[in-house]
Amino acid sequence: MKKPYLLFLFGAPAFALLLVAIRIYYSALVWHYQGPDVDFQITPNENFSSINARLAKENLISSARLFHRYSQFKGVLNKFKTGHYIIKNNSNLLDVYRILIIEKGFAQLFTVPEGKNMYEIGKMLEASSITKYNDFIALAKDKKFLEEIGVSAETIEGYLYPESYDFSPNMSAKTVIKTMVKQFNKKLNLVDFQLTSLNPRQVLILASIVEKETGDKKERPMIAGVFLNRLKLKMRLQSDPTTIYGKFEEFNGNLTKKDLITPTEYNTYTIAALPIGPICNPGIEAINAVLKPIDHKYLYFVSQNDGTHIFSESYEKHLEAVKKWQLNAKNREGRSWRDHDSTESE
């Protein structure tokens, strides 16, 4: 009786282990996905549990438990990256693992230049097939959604940080906005708002105006200084970009005298204060220019038609500069501020 008992005692566990090994072998190597090639997308900040569940639900892997254990054994539970991955017909579980971990998902680098407003960004996103313009703008103006992501404002304007992002085609507008706002918050955590008497919202609004007024980053602290001087004296900022933004969705590219005298919450020709909100999405340099402006007495500036400006303390001097640089046809044939930079360095 002892021999059969010993055979059962040692044989049963061994047989069970054999069955487990066979099952693992079958799930990992024998079973193959039999559907058409699939574009499997991993979205930003998606965790492993969500990825694993979707793979199983779409029958792209034979076993969610085995895929979890194998990924855990390999130490890659947090290594799955955002992107699109092509899972081909006849792929087994290990093939899927290699595709998602070893291969690079295809995503496009989407760059938001400094000074673009939310309408322009929305059009860029749609042109790049990342998300729909109407979906993006609707969410950008959805106060409930903005509150959910911690933005206390009427629109998302100003909080879409200008940066390069790895965005994939057909992303949701919600994911795009959350990603850009997260980058904005990351950058703003490095800013010292104690340097100014303005509150953070006012800093952002003024930085957006500074961003639109000059293409030369070296001028930003000077421009910021002019606007701060005017605010202290309760003078109107008289910034064309603010007026344009107030009617941006209907603006045809021609700013008229009627536009300048028509009151809006953004028209700084008619209000002696900052506009109600940002007029674009400024970068960190424009924000720092507001926090650390150059201290001077200038109240006016006029373009030299190369991206740089002439600054004046008095209105009389300003009129002289306008006559020279804006009313003189020859001087209006300006160069780029980039050319201006290159000549300075020679």
Look at residue 20 in the predicted model and tell me its pLDDT: 54
pLDDT lower than 70: segments of the chain: 1-22, 25-30, 104-108, 329-346
Look at residue 211 in the predicted model and tell me its pLDDT: 96
- State both tokens at 245: 């933004």
Look at residue 288 in the predicted model and tell me its pLDDT: 96
Span 23-35, pLDDT tens digits: 776 566 668 899 8
Rounded mean pLDDT of the chain? 87
Look at residue 346 in the predicted model and tell me its pLDDT: 25
Look at residue 342 in the predicted model and tell me its pLDDT: 35
Long-range CB pairs of 53-61 (<8 Å, 24+ gap) are 55/96, 59/33, 59/35, 60/33, 60/35, 60/87, 60/91, 60/96, 61/33, 61/93, 61/96
DSSP 8-state code for residue 30: I
Nearest CA to 300 out of 313, 281, 283, 285 is that of 313
Look at residue 276 in the predicted model and tell me its pLDDT: 96
Look at residue 84 in the predicted model and tell me its pLDDT: 79
Residues 124, 128, 130, 134: is their CA dihedral positive or negative? positive
Is it true that domain 26-101 has CATH number 1.10.490.10? no
Look at residue 339 in the predicted model and tell me its pLDDT: 43
**Beta-ladder partners of 309:** 303
Domain 108-188 CATH (choose: 2.60.40, 2.60.120, 3.90.550, 3.30.1490): 3.30.1490
Interhelix angle 220-232/284-291, rounded to 10 degrees, is 50
Query: What stretch(es) of the chain map to CATH 3.30.1490.480?
Result: 26-101
Look at residue 163 in the predicted model and tell me its pLDDT: 94
Cβ atoms of 291 and 226 within 8 Å: the answer is no
- State both tokens at 54: 């979707």
Look at residue 260 in the predicted model and tell me its pLDDT: 92
Span 69-110, pLDDT tens digits: 989 988 999 988 877 788 989 999 889 999 998 876 666 678
- State both tokens at 345: 């360095």
Look at residue 153 in the predicted model and tell me its pLDDT: 96
Look at residue 236 in the predicted model and tell me its pLDDT: 96
For residue 276, give every residue at least 6 positions away whose Cβ sits within 8 Å of its Cβ, in sequence order, or none. Answer: 154, 265, 266
Cβ atoms of 291 and 192 within 8 Å: the answer is yes
Look at residue 306 in the predicted model and tell me its pLDDT: 80
Cβ atoms of 195 and 287 within 8 Å: the answer is no
